[in-house]
Amino acid sequence: MRKKRLNPKKRTSRSKARKQVSRLRRFLSALTVSAVATFSIVSYALNPQLRDQFSLDLILSRLDLPRQEQAAPRVVDSGARVQTRFVDCPQFFPDGKPPLIPPGPALRELCFSSFAILHSGKTKTPVFVAQRLNRQILTRTRSVQRTDRFYTEARLPSSERAELADYRGSGYSRGHMAPAGDMHNPEAMAQSFSLANMVPQNQTHNAGAWNRIENDTRKYVMRAKGDVYVFTGPVYASGPKTIGPGRVAVPTHLYKLVYDATTGRAWAHWQANSADTRPGPPLSYEEFARRTGLRLLSSYR
């Protein structure tokens, strides 16, 4: 049986109707976002409690606002090694000197209130996350409640970031690089759940051997006389496994580099991202730099 062909005039009429419906949906979506944004910003301005607990940047980042206005700065590829800048948060690096790194595509610098991230749009995970810790900071973490509200990082272009859907049903944890247990106020705690601070991590490893490394690092900081700088990040094999529609890369190993600014000592924990990982002896800074190509400490270059 032959199908009846639509009259060209009717086909054009239907096409116009679909376009009008699409434009109406986009208008209503933009109107809703604008209304929510306006309400949130006014509430923030008039409510002192909100100002004490959250920054305006954080509130804006949780809304689906235009990405271009909040885009994180790119790292410019300038040769065999690239000097990162982190002009808005140099306090997370020893002597205020950000690291030298191998060049790579889609590298962006993200500053948060308690840590800094160099993010890779290729893997959609951090290259490293930098923290400055001391006894005073960690003492304040005891009164901060964990939030567990993961969110997409709005400052990253959609093509370079992980989404919540990427981790859903993947079998991997959203593994913090700057741990929630290090966060000393509600704003820092909320920011630590940005997906820019996560890697796909084996669940047993995350809760076991890696958790012990995090706890041991906090114990060291509590004994240290001054600031301790901590760099945490993933390591990938060539052609890594990925998860989710966005193809977020799964690391083979994780590292945590610890530098005591008072004593000048530095060491790195290096662990496979697997369930059977057991804690082992730390690496020297030189061996860590050889394996990763990262020059994270200016005093060792």
Structural domain spans, the chain:
73-300
Contact by Cβ (8 Å): 147, 189: yes
Question: Strands 228-235, 125-133: parallel, antiparallel or unpaired by DSSP?
Answer: antiparallel
Q: Which residue bears the tokens 């973490």?
A: 141
Residues 103-122: tens digit of each pLDDT: 989 999 999 999 999 999 99
pLDDT recorded at residue 77: 60
Residues 131-158: tens digit of each pLDDT: 999 999 999 999 999 999 999 999 999 9
pTM of the predicted model, to two decimals? 0.77
Q: Residue 76 — pLDDT band, cuts 50, 70, 90?
A: low
Alpha-helix residue ranges (DSSP H) falling in the chain: 8-46, 48-53, 56-62, 135-140, 164-167, 186-191, 203-207, 209-223, 285-292
pLDDT above 60 (res 82) = yes
Tell me the two tokens of residue 44.
Answer: 């923030």
Identify the CA nearest to 184 among candidates 118, 227, 134, 233: 134
pLDDT above 70 (res 70) = no
CATH architecture assigned to 73-300: 3-Layer(aba) Sandwich (3.40)
Contact by Cβ (8 Å): 141, 222: no
Burial of 198 (0-12, 13-18, 19+ CB in 10 A): buried
Distance of CA 114 to the CA centre of its chain: 12
Nearest-angstrom CA–CA distance, 295 and 222: 26
Report how far apart the first and last C-alpha atoms of the chain are (Å, whole number): 78
What is the mean predicted confidence (pLDDT) over 233-240? 94
Nearest-angstrom CA–CA distance, 251 and 253: 5
Residues 154-185: tens digit of each pLDDT: 999 999 999 999 999 999 999 999 999 999 99
Q: Residue 67 — pLDDT band, cuts 50, 70, 90?
A: very low
Identify the CA nearest to 153 among candidates 247, 62, 231, 56: 62
**Residue 42 or residue 282, greater confidence:** 282
Give percent of the chain above pLDDT 70.
Answer: 75
Q: Is 176 a catalytic residue?
A: yes
The length of the chain is: 301
Contact by Cβ (8 Å): 114, 182: yes
Q: In what order do the strands lie in the sheet with 228-235?
A: 107-111, 116-120, 125-133, 228-235, 253-260, 266-272, 283-284
Nearest-angstrom CA–CA distance, 197 and 116: 9
pLDDT recorded at residue 275: 97
Nearest-angstrom CA–CA distance, 150 and 195: 7
Contact by Cβ (8 Å): 233, 263: no
Which one of the listed residues 119, 176, 205, 269 is annotated catalytic?
176
Identify the CA nearest to 62 among candidates 209, 255, 222, 193: 193
Nearest-angstrom CA–CA distance, 227 and 136: 10
pLDDT recorded at residue 81: 83
